Amino acid sequence: MADLHFLANPARFRRFSQRVLPGLTFATVLGFAVGLYLALLQSPPDYQQGETVRIMFVHVPSAWLSMGGYALLAALGASLLVWRHPLAALMARAAAPVGACFALVCLLTGSLWGRPMWGTYWVWDARLTSMLLLFFLYLGHIALSRAYDDPDRGDRAAAILALIGVINLPIIKFSVDWWNTLHQPASIMRLDAPAIHPAILIPLLWMAASFLLLFILLVLVRTGTEIDRRRLEMADHLS
């Protein structure tokens, strides 16, 4: 925790991220090179799903990161409201669109996978619906943080929204699960019903790790951009 407080200073964070970024970029590229090789060439096609199972290697990590991203927004929101860390606001501003993109990638790849597997691009399945609602929560956060002339006000309003959203997410998830089981039987084949064979699990974990590195990389770069933008605005203000 002390180290995190140390990084709360934007200038120190800038120096830290500039030291970390080259190595992180290299690790991300390497991770994707190995992960994509394992996922697209090395792993066997599924006996039921055929080659379409490879969509999962993009779909599942995006789903994990979009959920983790919202938890990150809530944690950043809490640290902004409690400690008033200036960096938390900038990082939340940087992370929200990244998380929203991962949620969108998850929805799009899921729908592309659903077309050959379920015979339709979209079903009102509980998981699909709660991911869609998570995407809407991200959109609300992005829109609110940019809706004010005074950026600080937008940051703090969005922080409150992220905290309320994270309390509500389990309730939304529960009610959507309940809603779906009432209206249609659980007829849909689930990926996770059988235990995943190592031949597929290992590429999946490689891809998940690579996506995590990509997420961190994007958030660090975008946070740097937000710091620069805020500085430019301040300079504009003073001149």
What is the CB-side half-sphere exposure of residue 17 using CA atoms within 13 A? 21
Place of tokens 């606001």: 89
Q: Which stretch binds another protein (CB under 8 A): 67-75, 88-96, 169-177, 215-223?
A: 169-177
Choose, by CB under 8 A, the member of 4, 82, 147, 186 that binds another protein: 147
Give the CA-trace dihedral at 58, 59, 64, 68, to 10 degrees.
Answer: 80
Longest Cα–Cα distance of the chain, Å, equals 66
Q: Is 154 an interacting residue with respect to another protein (CB under 8 A)? A: yes
Choose, by CB under 8 A, the member of 1, 2, 11, 182 that binds another protein: 182
- Restricting to residues 35-94, name those near another protein by CB under 8 A: 81
Choose, by CB under 8 A, the member of 165, 203, 223, 227 that binds another protein: 165
Q: Is 139 an interacting residue with respect to another protein (CB under 8 A)? A: yes
Nearest to 66 by CA among 146, 130, 1: 130
Q: What are phi and psi of 50, to 5 degrees?
A: 65, -145
81 vs 216 by CB, closer to another protein: 81
* DSSP H helical ranges for 119-197: 126-145, 151-183
Q: How many residues bind to another protein according to rule CB under 8 A?
A: 30
Nearest to 188 by CA among 121, 112, 123: 123
Binding residues (CB under 8 A) for another protein: these are 81, 133, 136-137, 139-140, 143-144, 147-149, 153-154, 156-157, 160-161, 163-165, 167-168, 171-172, 174-176, 178-179, 182
